[in-house]
Amino acid sequence: MRVLGIETSCDETGVAVYDTGQGLLAHALHSQVALHGAYGGVVPELASRDHVRHLVPLIRRVVGEAGLGLADLDGIAYTAGPGLAGALLVGASVATALARALRVPVVGVHHLEGHLLSPLLGEPKPSFPFVALLVSGGHSQLFEVAGVGRYRLLGDTLDDAAGEAFDKTAKLLGLPYPGGPALAELAESGRAGAYSLPRPMLDSGDLDMSFSGLKTAVATLVRRVGSALDAQARADIAREFESAVVEVLVAKALAALHVTGLKSLVVAGGVGANRQLRVRLIESTSAARARVYFPSIAFCTDNGAMIALAGALRMDAEGAAGSSFGVRPRWDLSELRAPP
Ligand code: KG4
Ligand code: ZN
């Protein structure tokens, strides 16, 4: 079954074709970073309009690159939520219209289900069950994943998500949007141990997390350093901030493996692109005789491939019958059901 996947939940237009027999056939992404950069963050109305401009040309390109015509598609999947309402509606409208014209089924996919399943796009593929560390701009969560649609929440952030903390801290350090990758790059030239920040909830005894206090600690530190905040001091603070977040995420992920007795850890979401996090997770899972799986960097952040994949797995399992149109800007992953 060949499924076209459409992702428009935020500031990237992502399109891909996934074949349940052959895997990913083609994918492309249009990033809106340059568009929103001047405003220091995503402007929802501009995001929607940009999706309108780029989505249809991107679909033409990706279907062509897959060596297919539109008539070769067996189904269409789009991100139905969570995300920006206007941006989601662009993907939902185009997906539904195209599906009706082609007389193929269409399915609305949960964005986080796409992230959770994204490591299945690579090789080697993790097999179910596994623990998933989902670290994106809006979520920092640990799940036990027993199969498609079978997600048990093990731990959650009590306030800011890890990516959100990266973005807000980057702003405090005067870095441009998007802050997370910029802060990670700055941290590379920082010295370890030059400053000391807390490791929130490291010893809380559960799998929950909290990152907003860490961001506040950086704000206090920046004020204290005052006029001595030169390029090196900023890099040192970035390094310490990154170390604090990474240490907490690694400790919680390992604790989740321990609690569930599972030996496979899957990392998904934009913060999964962080190099320090990857290095530390590889070290600590191997010490615990477990294994960690990452999506390739391109599939950590938002993309169409994970939506095509999740849609294809659902259509395959549920029988491809859907034709509904709708978006859910707020949508809890725990509401999802496993296919029959
Ligand atoms: O999954 P994603 O692309 O979008 C959401 O669904 O939220 O994640 C975006 C988040 C942003 O907060 C961004 O700053 C963060 O991932 N991010 C990173 C890195 N690359 C992206 N954070 C730390 N280090 C990175 N290299
Ligand atoms: Zn995402």
Question: Has residue 321 got a pLDDT over 90?
Answer: no
**Domain co-membership, 283 together with 304:** no
Q: Tell me, what's the pLDDT at 4?
A: 98
- Looking at ligand 1, which residue's alpha carbon is closest to its atom 16? 270
Other CB atoms within 10 Å distance of the CB of residue 165: 30
Question: Has residue 334 got a pLDDT over 70?
Answer: yes
Nearest to 249 by CA among 229, 274, 222: 274
Sign of the CA dihedral running 154, 306, 136, 273: positive
pLDDT, tens digit, 9 for 90 and up, residues 211-243: 999 999 999 999 999 999 999 999 999 999 999
Question: Has residue 66 got a pLDDT over 80?
Answer: yes
Q: What stretches of the chain show up as alpha helix (H) in DSSP?
A: 33-37, 44-65, 85-102, 111-117, 162-172, 179-187, 212-225, 231-260, 275-287, 297-300, 305-318
Rounded to the nearest angstrom, the distance between the alpha carbon of 269 and the centre of ligand 1 is 7
Ligand 1 atom having least distance to the Cα of 139? 7
**Domain co-membership, 131 together with 247:** yes
Query: Is residue 64 a part of any domain in this protein?
Result: yes
Q: What percent of the chain is predicted at pLDDT more than 90? A: 93
Query: Is residue 257 a part of any domain in this protein?
Result: yes
- Looking at ligand 1, which residue's alpha carbon is closest to its atom 10? 137
CA 333, 206, 216 angle in degrees (round to 5)?
85
Mean pLDDT score, 37-47: 94
Q: Is the Cβ atom of 270 under 6 angstroms away from ligand 1?
A: yes
Q: Is the Cβ atom of 180 under 6 angstroms away from ligand 1?
A: yes
Question: Has residue 80 got a pLDDT over 80?
Answer: yes
Query: Is residue 272 a part of any domain in this protein?
Result: yes
Rounded to the nearest angstrom, the distance between the alpha carbon of 181 and the centre of ligand 1 is 7
pLDDT, tens digit, 9 for 90 and up, residues 119-128: 999 999 999 9
**Domain co-membership, 110 together with 149:** no
Question: Has residue 324 got a pLDDT over 80?
Answer: no
- DSSP, residue by residue, 242-290: HHHHHHHHHHHHHHHHHHHT--EEEEESGGGG-HHHHHHHHHHHHHTT-
| Amino acid at residue number 338 | A
Would you place residue 320 in the very low, low, confident or very high pLDDT band (cuts 50, 70, 90)? Answer: low
Query: Is residue 271 a part of any domain in this protein?
Result: yes
Predicted TM-score (pTM) of this structure: 0.94
Q: Would you say 307 and 331 are in contact if contact means Cβ atoms under 8 Å apart?
A: no
Structural domain count of the chain: 2
Rounded to the nearest angstrom, the distance between the alpha carbon of 45 and the centre of ligand 1 is 21
**Domain co-membership, 132 together with 176:** yes
Q: Tell me, what's the pLDDT at 246?
A: 98
Mean pLDDT score, 139-162: 96
Rounded to the nearest angstrom, the distance between the alpha carbon of 272 and the centre of ligand 1 is 8
**Domain co-membership, 181 together with 110:** no
Query: Is residue 221 a part of any domain in this protein?
Result: yes
pLDDT, tens digit, 9 for 90 and up, residues 245-303: 999 999 999 999 999 999 999 999 999 999 999 999 999 999 999 999 999 999 999 99
For ligand 1, mutation pick of 36, 140, 166 (most atoms within 8 Å of CB): 166
Rounded to the nearest angstrom, the distance between the alpha carbon of 113 and the centre of ligand 2 is 10
Domain containing residue 254: CATH number:
3.30.420.40
Q: Is the Cβ atom of 303 under 6 angstroms away from ligand 1?
A: no
The domain of 34 spans 2-116+299-335
Q: Is the Cβ atom of 167 under 6 angstroms away from ligand 1?
A: yes
Rounded to the nearest angstrom, the distance between the alpha carbon of 135 and the centre of ligand 2 is 9
Distance CA 245, CA 77 (A): 34
Mean pLDDT score, 36-65: 96
pLDDT, tens digit, 9 for 90 and up, residues 24-39: 999 999 999 999 999 9
For ligand 1, mutation pick of 271, 277, 300, 303 (most atoms within 8 Å of CB): 271
Q: Tell me, what's the pLDDT at 21?
A: 95
Query: Is residue 121 a part of any domain in this protein?
Result: no
How much is the mean pLDDT over the chain?
96
**Domain co-membership, 285 together with 169:** yes
Q: Which two tokens stand for residue 231?
A: 């390029």
Ligand 1 atom having least distance to the Cα of 273? 26
289: left (phi over 0), alpha (psi -120 to 50) or beta: left
Q: Tell me, what's the pLDDT at 318?
A: 82
Q: Is the Cβ atom of 190 under 6 angstroms away from ligand 1?
A: no
Q: Is the Cβ atom of 169 under 6 angstroms away from ligand 1?
A: no
**Domain co-membership, 204 together with 281:** yes
pLDDT, tens digit, 9 for 90 and up, residues 173-201: 999 988 999 999 999 999 999 999 999 99
Q: Is the Cβ atom of 302 under 6 angstroms away from ligand 1?
A: yes
Lowest-pLDDT range of 143-152, 249-258, 310-319 = 310-319
Q: Is the Cβ atom of 179 under 6 angstroms away from ligand 1?
A: yes
